[in-house]
């Protein structure tokens, strides 16, 4: 793969830092001036990359999505289709929280709470990511039904909603309380909703 030009690498590094800051200070609290101070760069230098606060927010959301895909989607798709892939998706989500890929927990959970009540492009981008994630869980559940590992009358959309509720709760609880035991509780809950392949439970 051809390496990206230096300007693109610099922008990617800035956005990676911006995404991490947004999970601590909030997406709405992310400003060009604040980011410039945090990374030791001039405001004029950042304005060369982002013309407005909204441009910065949208670019940060896109960067966080790329990170989420790399940390959660891609590892999950390496597992065989069916229940094992559904479990892998949930486990990869929990792993990226546990490893503090973003210091404030799941970027999109934090962002949803921050901009969810404010109409605009940032809210729409965060909502789109949430829909994509839940739809992925539903597709994986539907595939597990197709291969006979889940009951044919299960509702994939409902199962995806319930699994996501467990994952988001684990993220929020870990960040708020700092108790890593929450991850095993969350994984136990996932196994309860979706028994491992070959399980008689």
Q: Rounded to the nearest 10 degrees, how much is the dihedral formed by the CA atoms of 22, 33, 125, 62?
A: -80
Asked whether residue 97 is domain-assigned, the answer is: yes
Asked whether residue 123 is domain-assigned, the answer is: yes
Read off the pLDDT of residues 111-150 as tens digits, 9 standing for 90 and up: 999 888 888 999 999 999 999 999 999 999 999 999 999 8
Asked whether residue 24 is domain-assigned, the answer is: no
What pLDDT is recorded for position 5?
A: 64
Q: How many domains are there within the chain?
A: 1
Residue ranges of the chain whose pLDDT lies below 50: 1, 200-201
Report residue 23: phi and psi, to 5°: -80, -10
Asked whether residue 114 is domain-assigned, the answer is: yes
Q: What is the pTM of this model?
A: 0.88
**Residues 6+ away with beta carbon under 8 Å from 200:** none
Dist. CA 83–CA 145, nearest whole Å: 9
Dist. CA 78–CA 42, nearest whole Å: 42
Residue span of the structural domain in which 115 resides: 61-193
Asked whether residue 181 is domain-assigned, the answer is: yes
Residue 155's CB is within 10 A of a number of other CB atoms, namely 13
Asked whether residue 49 is domain-assigned, the answer is: no
Domain containing residue 80: CATH number: 1.10.357.10
Asked whether residue 52 is domain-assigned, the answer is: no
Asked whether residue 32 is domain-assigned, the answer is: no
What pLDDT is recorded for position 201?
A: 43
What pLDDT is recorded for position 46?
A: 77
What pLDDT is recorded for position 4?
A: 54
Query: Residues 183-188: contacts with CB within 8 Å, 24+ apart?
Result: 183/94, 183/97, 183/98, 186/90, 186/94, 187/90, 187/91, 187/94
């Amino acid at each position: 793969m051809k390496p990206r030009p230096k300007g693109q690498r610099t922008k990617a590094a800035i956005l990676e830092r911006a995404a991490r800051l947004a999970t601590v200070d909030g997406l709405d609290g992310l400003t060009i001036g604040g980011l410039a101070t945090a990374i030791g760069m001039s405001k004029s230098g950042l304005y060369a990359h982002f013309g407005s606060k909204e441009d910065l927010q949208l670019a940060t959301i896109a960067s966080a999505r790329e990170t989420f895909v790399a940390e959660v989607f891609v590892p999950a798709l390496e597992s065989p289709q069916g229940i094992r892939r559904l479990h892998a998706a949930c486990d990869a989500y929990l792993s990226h929280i546990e490893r503090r890929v973003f210091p404030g927990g799941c970027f999109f959970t934090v962002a949803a709470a921050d901009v969810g009540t404010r109409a605009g492009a940032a809210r729409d981008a965060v909502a789109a990511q949430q829909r994509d994630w839940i739809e992925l869980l539903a597709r994986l559940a539907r595939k597990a039904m197709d291969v006979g590992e889940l009951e044919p009358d299960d509702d994939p959309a409902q199962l995806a909603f319930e699994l996501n509720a467990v994952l988001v709760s684990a993220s929020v609880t870990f960040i708020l309380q700092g108790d890593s035991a929450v991850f095993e509780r969350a994984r136990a809950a996932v196994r309860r909703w979706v028994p491992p392949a070959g399980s008689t439970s």
